[in-house]
Structures are given as C-alpha cells and as structure tokens.
Structure 1
Amino acid sequence: MNKFISIRLFIGILAFSMVACNDDFLEKTPETDIDAGSFFNTEEDLNLYVYNLYDFPSTGIYTDDAYSLTDNAFSTGNVELKTMMTTNPSSTTITSGWAKEDWEQLRKANFFLENFNKASISQERLHHFEGLARFFRARFYVGKVKRYSDVPWTDKALSQDSLDVLFDERDPREIVISKIMEDYEFAMNNVDVSVPNGAVNRWLVKADYARFLLYEGTYRKYHAELNLSGSAADLLQKAVDVAKDIMDNGSFNLYTTGKPDQDYSSLFASADLSNNPEVIFGRFYQANVLNGDSGENLFGNYETYPVKDLVQAYLMKDGSFYSSQPNYQQNQFVAEFNDRDPRLYQTFAYPGWVLVRSGTYAQGAGLYVQQLAKNFSGYHQIKGFYNTTDQDVRNNMDVPLYRFAEILLIYAEAKAELGQLTQGDLDITVNKLRDRVAMPHMTLGAPVDPVEAAKFPNVTSGQRAEILEIRRERRVELALEGRRYDDLMRWEAGKFLEKEPQGIYFASLGKHDVTGDGIPDIYLLPASQSIPEKKETNSLGKVLQYYRVGTFGQDVSVFLGGTNSGNIQIIENSGTFVAPKYYYRPIPQQQMQLNPNLKQIFGWE
C-alpha cells in the first residue's frame, strides 16, 4: 500500500463533514440524530460515519511536552498546570473538559453503536465496525479518566441538549476502567488486521491498549490515594502480554539502515512512512492534497522550547552517566554535546548544525548560533522540524504517532515493574533501540544514577536500577513526542515540576563560542552596560550577537542565574505541585450547579 490510500481515507472524513452540512440531509437534525433508516444501510455509510470519529493528533505531538508542562520542555504560553501551580486554582478557574462539546465524541460513538447493525453486511463486518466504535469510545474514556479519575459511564447516545445535565453521578475509576478494557478487548479481537493505510487496524488497537495498560498499571502502583495498588500487577501483566503479541506477531521492526547518526531522526522528517516497518500508525500527508508541515514556530523562539534537564538525561557515548562527568552542571553548550548518545544530536540543534529554514529566526539561515531571549532556554528543537525552504517538501512530511519502539519500551517497563525483567528481555527491547544508535547495551544490575534516583524516590522495588534506566531510555527515545506528561503523572512525579527549568550555562560574561569552532559568536554584557552601536566581528567576519544579562526584574535581554555566570533562567517561580490534588482536575463549578449529583474529589472545591 502507499500513502495515497490514507490520503483518500482522510478525504473521506472531510466528505462526511461536508455531508453533515447539507441542507437536505443533516442540517435539520444533529449528525448523530440521523435517521438510521436513511443512513446506516451500507458499508460505505458505516465507513463515512466511523471516519468522523478519528481524533488523532498530528505535528502537535512535537510541542505537547511543552504545552502540557514537563521537565522536557517549557512554554511561555498559557499552560493549565503552570497556572495551577502559581495561583490558587478552583472549580471556578479550571473550567475546561466537561462542557457539552467535550462529550460529543462519546455521543457520536454511542449513536453509531445503537444503529450500525442495521446495515446489510456480514456479521464479521459488523463486528469490525463495532470494534472500531468501541475503540474510539475507549480512547475517549481514557482521556476523561486521566483528567478526572471518577467519571460517569454511559453507553447511551444522549441527546445533544442534555449532555450537561443528564449525567447522574461519577462512577468509580475501577468500574470505568473495566468498561474501557471491555471495549479494548472487543476491538482487539474484531477490528480487521488489514485495512487501508492510515486507517485503524487491529495492531493500532493493540498498541493503544498496551499504552493504556502500562499507564493504568503504574498509576495504580504509585498513587496510594486510589487504594487500587492491589490490582496494578494484573494490568501490568496484561500490558506485557499485549506488547509481546505485537512484538511476536505484528511484523514490525525498528527502522534502521545502519546509519546511527541519521536513522532515528529520519523517522521525524520523512515524506513517506506508509511502508516504514516501525510505524504502527501515523498521519500521512500529500502536498497540495492534504498538507502537513510542523510550522516554523517549532524551531524559532515562539512559545515552546526544550530545557536543560532533558539534555542532561542523555548518556555519554560510552554508556556512562552524563552526571558522572566532573562538574557536568557547569558544562557550556559545546561541551554538553561532546561524546553523547547520538539521539541528542538528532533531537536538539547542536554545535555546527546549519539552519536552512529561518522564517521566524531573526538571525537568519546559516551556521546555528543561539538566538537568546528572555524566558527562553537557548536550546532549540530539530526533532519534527522540517529544515527546508521547499513548502511542498514540508507539506509532504508524515508524522509517526505509534512506533514499534514504544511497544518495546512498554514491554520492558512493565516487566521491570513486575520484578520479572531478564537480560533476554533487555536484549529484545532496550538494547535493540541502543543498537540503532550504536550505544552500549544495558545490563541487569547496572549502577543507579543518583540524579535519576533523586527524581523518583518512590521507586523501591528489587529492580529499582532497571526501572530507572528504562525510564531514562523511554524519555530519550520518545523525547518531544508528547508522552512525557503522562509518564510523570503515572509515576507520581508531579513534585519534580517544582524544580525551576533552566537553559544553557555560561561560565562568565564576555565572548562565547557556541558553534564548536573555537571562534566567539555571542557576547554577554552586564546589565550596567549598553550594547554598542558598532558591534565587534569575529575572525570569520561575522558580527557577534550581543546580549545584556541580569536577573528577574531587570531590563535585560537574558536572565542569568548568577551575577557573572550561571544557567539561563526561564521562570522566576515554578510554583507548588499539590499532591494528590493536581494529578486531577475539578469538575467546573457551572457543571456542578447544573447537576448537583456530581461531587468533587481529591480536595477540589
């Protein structure tokens, strides 16, 4: 199959949306109030309706780590959790997630399930379509459980005007999860294996199910407030089983051509992932038919940017901890990239990298020199950034949403959490990932990195060292793909977000080389000095980039941690993460007034 098939699939989604606006058919009634006798008659009808349930992300995965707030990336924008940690939040200020439109996906899925079996097709095909709708219902409820924990469960197609008042009371988390698992299980056993590229198939269902099982299993293990730790092992074992099924029977493999400095990054800048052996599911684009492009703001100093804590997570090229390097915290930009895991250079703009696409970058194209600014880290992301001026090339780029690499990590982590991890397990999971980038293998009984141990003091099991290193591997492999927030939440690591995020380190004021050629590129001045009208040029004839540095409250270009040296400072106060309260969100007060049966939990008012 090729990507053109998947383009047609998404055009089908658009076609359904256009039908939904037709004056003679759907405008008089909501789309989920379609007369079943007029619509649910053929397989084409079912396909059109199901396409309208597709709710997968796209290039937004590359900024999710920042917009959800993590230790991987930060945002200058209005991030919900950042606001919560720096204010006094309540159900009157946290108001998203429970409005009528937030339940629309559930209503559409349930309406389909009430009417799909009227189509004149075989029972096998009916089971396939039922599995698809139940898959999307499961995904919907996973999102609601992550946000609220206890939520009302319904399998009825509620009327459009009653969503905000019809629900009775919240069902306990364990009941909702059992319903979610029933939906996943049905879908896993009935959705077709072979479908047009870009459509939901059985392997995607299993991958999404495995992702959820790991989430819920570890969430229950580490969140004592739920009183559900006794059921964590069963969920983790199920995650192992589903992941292993994908590994053994799914015909997926890690993408590699034997180029450790290129293969990883090529997954995130590819014009055709439709036949890539690693991609279980992706978003596929075709220039001038269905345009992609991650946008210039991904690289430029717009709202999101990676931070130092992620840089420091990558191992050295020889497999040793970066934190074992003498005075590693005072390494300047060029030194930070010396002899590191090759995935670092394929995720971050590095010394010597050349910028081609410079639309939002004031310093323009050419050899990469940091454009520093207040509240930004000085690091820039190249993972998912399409570094070309050819718009058609950028519009043609595909996005890998579910990778086989994640399945390997799910299997390894679940085994370690169960205390069952063997060297053989590592060799078919983590070490496959390391082989791709020519990194040394992970072994059982590896030493504990004190930096990682300090982040996760609640990891106390017999395979503690292995859990910590698998978490590192997961962080590095899936960096800036939108998985980190869920990881921190399920590991009960929200308090770590109180640590103020930092940017690159400068050992002094004055001139600094950031390209690695030994020639200065940046000139830092104290707050007391003005930037001269006639700026100095370096030996290459390039004008130095001048910045006045100081502390918060001063009128300067960059905030620095110390008077004459330190890390770039991003935010003056990260705030307080109140546990367990901030692992959840309140039901908005307006909805509570509409339905008095709803009750707040975990300290929300």
Structure 2
Amino acid sequence: MKYIKYLILAVMLTGAGSCSVDRVPETQLSDATFWRSEGDLNSAANYLYTFLPSLPVYDDNMSIDGFAVYPNEVSNGTRTVPNWDDDYANAYKLIRAACNIIAKAPRATSAGVDPGIVEKYVAEARFFRAWAYYNLVKRYGDVILVTTPLASDAKELTAARTNREIVYDTIYADLEFAAAKLQLPSAMGESNYGRISRTAVWAVESRAALFEGTWNKFHNAGEWRTHLERAKNAAEKVIQSGEHSLYTGGYFNLYQYQAEGMGNKENVMVRRYGANDANIISYHNIPMAIISGGVVNPTKYLVDAYLMKDGLPIDKSPLYNTPDSANHVFNNRDKRLSETVMKRGDNFSLTGKFVVSTSSTGYNYRKYVIQEDMGKSRSYIDYAIIRYAEVLLNYAEAKYELDAGITDADLDRTINQLRDRGEVAHLTNAFATAHGLNIREEIRRERRVELSMEGFRYWDLLRWKTAETELPKPVLGAYFFKDEFLALGYSLTPNLNPDNYIMPESGNMRTFLPQRDYLWPLPLTEISMNPNLVQNPNWN
C-alpha cells in the first residue's frame, strides 16, 4: 500500500504522458482529497528531492581531466543526436512536479494548514523549478518555459523555445522567493539536514549566475555584468551569513563518512544516501565502480595542474624535478593532489594493496573510495552538491571578471583559504607579477584542482569558450615506468606517445566543432512531437 501511495503521488505530480512538456492528468486521477495537510505537502516536496543529482564522478570524463576504460563520446566529439535524453526528460518531469505543488499547495490553507508552512513548501518547489531550468539552459540554451500545470490543449505543448534570458528571469525570481521563505541551516536543525536552506538557494544562485554571466561574456552572447553582479552578491550572502566554513578535518576526509552531517559546515547542499544498512535512503556503488570498474581515472592534464608548494606551476617552480618513479610526482606538490589521486601506501582495496590494473591512464581516483564499502558493494556516503569552497571560488571569479582584477584582500578571503589546506603559498598580485602569472588563469586553476573530478570541468570549458582548444587534445596519463607498473599489477598494454606517457586516446580521434558542440542536441522524440521545437545549430 505504501508503494501504491507513492506511485499515485508520482503520477499526480508529474503526469503520465510520454511528452516531456505534458499536463498533469486531473481527469485520470483526482487529487481532490490531497493537499489538505502538512503531511501531504511534505510528501509532495520529498518527491522533488529524488531528482537531486547522484555522485558526478563520471562527469569529468566529458572533459579531458578524466578518462574511463573507454572513450567518452561527449569529450571526443563523436556523439549523435539521441532519440531520448534523460537529462531533458527528467528536468521537465521535475518542473511539472514543482509547478503542480506551486499551484496546488495553497489549497491546504483552507484545511487549516498555517500559510507560513505552505509558503515553505512552495519555496522548495520554486527552488527545484529554478534548479531544473538552470540545468536545461546550460545544456540546450533556449528551452520551452512552463510555469503552470498544463491542460490537454495548452499551447506550451507545441510551443517554441523561450529565449534563455527570459528563462533566467524565471530562475532568479524563483530563487529570490525561495531565499525569502526558507530558513538558514542553523534554524532548520539536524532533523531537516539535507533539505534546501536559504544558503543553498544563494549558493545555487551564485553558480547559475556565474555560468550565464561568463557564457555571455566569452561567447559575446549578450549582457553579462548583471549576471556576474548577481553571482558575486549571492556568494557574498553565503559568506556573510556565518553559516559555513571550510572543513578542517582534511581534504581527503571531506569525501569520507566522518565529514557527513551538520558538523561539517562546508556542506551547503547535500544529497543524502542514508547512514548504514539499517538506515537507508538510497545507496550507490561508487567506491567499487572507481576501483574495479575504472569508471573515471585522472589524466596527466589534471595532475600537472596542481601547483608546487611554493605556489608556482611545475614549469616555473625550482622545486619541480622530472619524476623518476610513480610516487615522485607527488613530491612538494599541493597536498590536495595526493588526497585526490592514489599513490603507493594508500588504502586502495579490500586487501590494502595498491594496484593500477584498472586504470586506463595509470592514475587512480581517490575521492569517495571507502575501503570498508567495497566488500559489500554499496555505499551510503553523501554527495555534497555544493560546498562552501565552490562559493568562495564563485565569488573570486565573478569579482575578477567584473573588475578585470581582484584585490589581495579578496584573494585572502577566497583563493588563499583553499590554498592553505593544500599547504600552498598564497597568491597575491605582486607574486603573480613577479613570476609572470595570469591572475585569471590562477583563479581558474584553483577551481580546477579544488573541485577536481566533481563534475565542473566540462561545463567550465563551455562557459569560458575554451572547449574548442582543450578537448581536441590527445588524452594523456602517467609516465609509463614499466617495471614499477608491472610490479604493481598493471595488466594493460598501453598505447604510449613518443615521450613515453600513456595515451588512451590520440588527438586524431578527438574533435570539437565550435559551431555545434557548445550546445547539446535536443532529442528526436521531442522534436517529432512538437513541430515548433527547432534543433540546435548543426545537429541536424
């Protein structure tokens, strides 16, 4: 009966048709007796949380920072127009559910539910609608805008796409409403940990506005300063709230069980998976997928991006020496490198033995690898969708792009806080000038390493309009120390480039078409059902 209840609720919230832009089927399933209590509103809102993203360890394979045991068709430019696209369909499923709550939750006031409680659930729904539209726009550009439950003859079912600036107006309006009605994390308490807070709304606003502002700036696509001002101001609100701070228990431990819960003030927005076999929300098998499945492996490009401890890149630092062994690459480097990429001595498997047999690049990913979870093939480690570290990075980047520069004081309150936990020398304007460094590139570097393999890099390359330069490169891995690798259990026969680096995919197998690949193709099923839905350029 509980299953049937939630199945009915899902149909009530999302509709039952095959078209992504669909109506809620009031005539098929009456919800006249629903929307009468806080429990009803809570159940409806809980459904929205099932659309939160899962751990994004696969996403960096779309960039050149990660590589699986097989090529990625987004990264290498070989994908074709799909018949169906879950990213598109699920976003509209979420939008439909959110619109339904926004329209119908106020009915509960007539049944005696406090209007403030109703507004809280409407605010959650408006947050999720904004979240869905942000994720649609960053993939597809202009999209169909729907803000109400649709009737069977609604014009939106065959509508043309709405300009992304208008969609962003809706995103911002929804986020502003949500921020005004939701609480700060400290007021929500442990029992509500994982629900959307006011600071989570501001953090998403900073992310979405930074994306659109830099997209417009570097693609010459329109007004950008207003978006970047909004990104900066939203990040500043999170910083000034005093609700969040960087985790002090070690960067590696951020991705282990000890960093879960309200005690970790770095977590701003979290997808919860549960605690153990007796307290399950859901679970995943990411540790085993990483180690045994080789689903993501760091590349040479990512490893080389980490600074030396003196704050200089490897091509400028006197501390850097050409590695003569696999572990040598970690010497005198940003501490976060060894806490992100496996090395000999790490607890790597059930036996504790370090091997590289599953890695297509010779490097192995370390975040979210939990030794005790591997034997049972399930893990409950939460996914921090937004960390306070990202908020600091958003602020620094928005400030730099707005002012064509950033003060040392702002570097100290953002970038240098992150460098401190990597035990790396601070970045200052004088330091950059003295060593021929570009501040913009150093801010971007800090974003790359702090958020490495967390699903950001591909989207950053798109918004900066650098994907056309970065993605066609050959994929390179570690220098192949043959005897050492064989002793560590390396069972592959790797392709090597002329400099003896592992090369799982050559440059002549990779392409990026600027006139096509900055936007994703719309699925054919959607185009076939809507004659006014025009495909993105050059995907025909």
Shared fold per TM-score greater than 0.5: yes
Matches within 5 A, 1:119-518: 119-120=108-109, 121-158=113-150, 166-193=157-184, 194-195=187-188, 196-224=192-220, 226=221, 228=222, 231-257=223-249, 263-271=250-258, 272-284=260-272, 285-288=274-277, 289-290=279-280, 292=283, 294-324=286-316, 332-357=325-350, 365-371=351-357, 376-388=360-372, 395-419=379-403, 420-447=405-432, 465-495=438-468, 496-506=470-480, 511-512=483-484
Determine the C-alpha separation between the residues in 1 that align with 2:106 and 2:121: 9
- Alpha-carbon offset, residue 94 of structure 1: 6.2
Say whether 1:105 aligns with 2:94: yes
User: 1:286·1:395 contact (CA, 8 Å) conserved in 2?
Assistant: no
One of 575, 592, 598 as aligned partner of 2:527: 592
Matched residue of 1:438: which SS? coil
Q: For 1:146, give the aligned amino acid.
A: K
Determine the C-alpha separation between the residues in 2 that align with 1:449 and 1:483: 30
Say whether 1:115 aligns with 2:115: no
Which residue of 2 is the match for residue 45 of structure 1? 40
- Alpha-carbon offset, residue 351 of structure 1: 3.4
**1:289-337: CA deviations, max 9, x gaps?**
2154533121235332111100000001221211225897776523211
- Alpha-carbon offset, residue 109 of structure 1: 1.2
- Alpha-carbon offset, residue 136 of structure 1: 0.7
Aligned residues: CA RMSD: 3.2
Matches within 5 A, 1:49-88: 49-55=44-50, 57=52, 60-66=55-61, 69-77=62-70, 79-82=72-75, 85-86=77-78
Determine the C-alpha separation between the residues in 1 that align with 2:358 and 2:122: 53
Q: For 1:567, give the aligned amino acid.
A: Y
User: 2:522·2:536 contact (CA, 8 Å) conserved in 1?
Assistant: no
User: 2:297·2:361 contact (CA, 8 Å) conserved in 1?
Assistant: yes
**1:145-164: CA deviations, max 9, x gaps?**
112111111212135x8899
- CA 1:322–1:392 in 2, change beyond 3 Å: closer, same or farther? same
Determine the C-alpha separation between the residues in 1 that align with 2:303 and 2:198: 36
Matched residue of 2:534: which SS? coil
User: 1:59·1:294 contact (CA, 8 Å) conserved in 2?
Assistant: no
Q: With structure 1 as the length reference, what TM-score do the two structures score?
A: 0.77
- Alpha-carbon offset, residue 201 of structure 1: 1.5
- Alpha-carbon offset, residue 469 of structure 1: 0.5
Say whether 1:35 aligns with 2:19: no
**1:13-62: CA deviations, max 9, x gaps?**
x96x6413369x979x8586453431011111111101111145565223
- CA 1:18–1:311 in 2, change beyond 3 Å: closer, same or farther? farther
Determine the C-alpha separation between the residues in 2 that align with 1:544 and 1:198: 41
Matched residue of 1:602: which SS? coil
**Identity of aligned pairs, percent?**
30
Matched residue of 1:219: which SS? helix
Determine the C-alpha separation between the residues in 2 that align with 1:164 and 1:78: 41
Unaligned runs of 5+ in 1: 1-13, 258-262, 358-364, 454-463, 513-521, 524-542, 548-555
- Alpha-carbon offset, residue 107 of structure 1: 1.3
Matched residue of 2:483: which SS? strand
**1:181-203: CA deviations, max 9, x gaps?**
11111111122333311111211
User: 2:266·2:387 contact (CA, 8 Å) conserved in 1?
Assistant: yes
Say whether 1:559 aligns with 2:495: yes
User: 1:267·1:400 contact (CA, 8 Å) conserved in 2?
Assistant: no
- CA 1:56–1:403 in 2, change beyond 3 Å: closer, same or farther? farther
Determine the C-alpha separation between the residues in 2 that align with 1:393 and 1:218: 40
User: 1:36·1:115 contact (CA, 8 Å) conserved in 2?
Assistant: no
Determine the C-alpha separation between the residues in 2 that align with 1:183 and 1:399: 24
- CA 1:174–1:399 in 2, change beyond 3 Å: closer, same or farther? closer
Matched residue of 2:297: which SS? strand
User: 1:312·1:323 contact (CA, 8 Å) conserved in 2?
Assistant: no
- CA 1:393–1:203 in 2, change beyond 3 Å: closer, same or farther? farther
- Alpha-carbon offset, residue 487 of structure 1: 1.1
User: 2:296·2:365 contact (CA, 8 Å) conserved in 1?
Assistant: no
- CA 1:22–1:216 in 2, change beyond 3 Å: closer, same or farther? closer
User: 2:159·2:533 contact (CA, 8 Å) conserved in 1?
Assistant: yes
**1:522-552: CA deviations, max 9, x gaps?**
45xxxxxxxxxxxxxxxxxxx67576xxxxx
Q: Give the count of matched residue pairs.
A: 512
Q: For 1:173, give the aligned amino acid.
A: R
User: 1:63·1:482 contact (CA, 8 Å) conserved in 2?
Assistant: yes
- CA 1:171–1:341 in 2, change beyond 3 Å: closer, same or farther? same
- Alpha-carbon offset, residue 165 of structure 1: 8.1
Matched residue of 1:384: which SS? coil
Determine the C-alpha separation between the residues in 1 that align with 2:428 and 2:41: 50
- CA 1:372–1:204 in 2, change beyond 3 Å: closer, same or farther? closer
Determine the C-alpha separation between the residues in 2 that align with 1:267 and 1:590: 41
Determine the C-alpha separation between the residues in 2 that align with 1:209 and 1:394: 33
Q: For 1:398, give the aligned amino acid.
A: D
Per mean C-alpha deviation after superposition, the further-off stretch among 570-579 and 487-496 is 570-579
Q: For 2:443, give the aligned amino acid.
A: I
Q: For 1:311, give the aligned amino acid.
A: V
User: 2:75·2:471 contact (CA, 8 Å) conserved in 1?
Assistant: no
User: 1:99·1:591 contact (CA, 8 Å) conserved in 2?
Assistant: no
Q: For 1:104, give the aligned amino acid.
A: K
- CA 1:247–1:428 in 2, change beyond 3 Å: closer, same or farther? same
Q: For 2:483, give the aligned amino acid.
A: K
**1:336-395: CA deviations, max 9, x gaps?**
1111100001001023334342xxxxxxx344242266xx10100111111236768974
- CA 1:392–1:600 in 2, change beyond 3 Å: closer, same or farther? closer
Which residue of 1 is the match for residue 510 of structure 2? 575
Matched residue of 1:41: which SS? coil
Higher helix share: 2
- Alpha-carbon offset, residue 437 of structure 1: 2.9
Which residue of 2 is the match for residue 456 of structure 1? none
Determine the C-alpha separation between the residues in 2 that align with 1:162 and 1:474: 47
- CA 1:213–1:393 in 2, change beyond 3 Å: closer, same or farther? same
Q: With structure 2 as the length reference, what TM-score do the two structures score?
A: 0.86
User: 1:127·1:190 contact (CA, 8 Å) conserved in 2?
Assistant: yes
**1:112-141: CA deviations, max 9, x gaps?**
122111112233223222211111111111
Matched residue of 1:174: which SS? helix
- Alpha-carbon offset, residue 275 of structure 1: 1.9
- Alpha-carbon offset, residue 433 of structure 1: 1.2
Determine the C-alpha separation between the residues in 2 that align with 1:56 and 1:103: 11
Q: For 2:505, give the aligned amino acid.
A: I
**1:396-421: CA deviations, max 9, x gaps?**
53332221111111111110111252
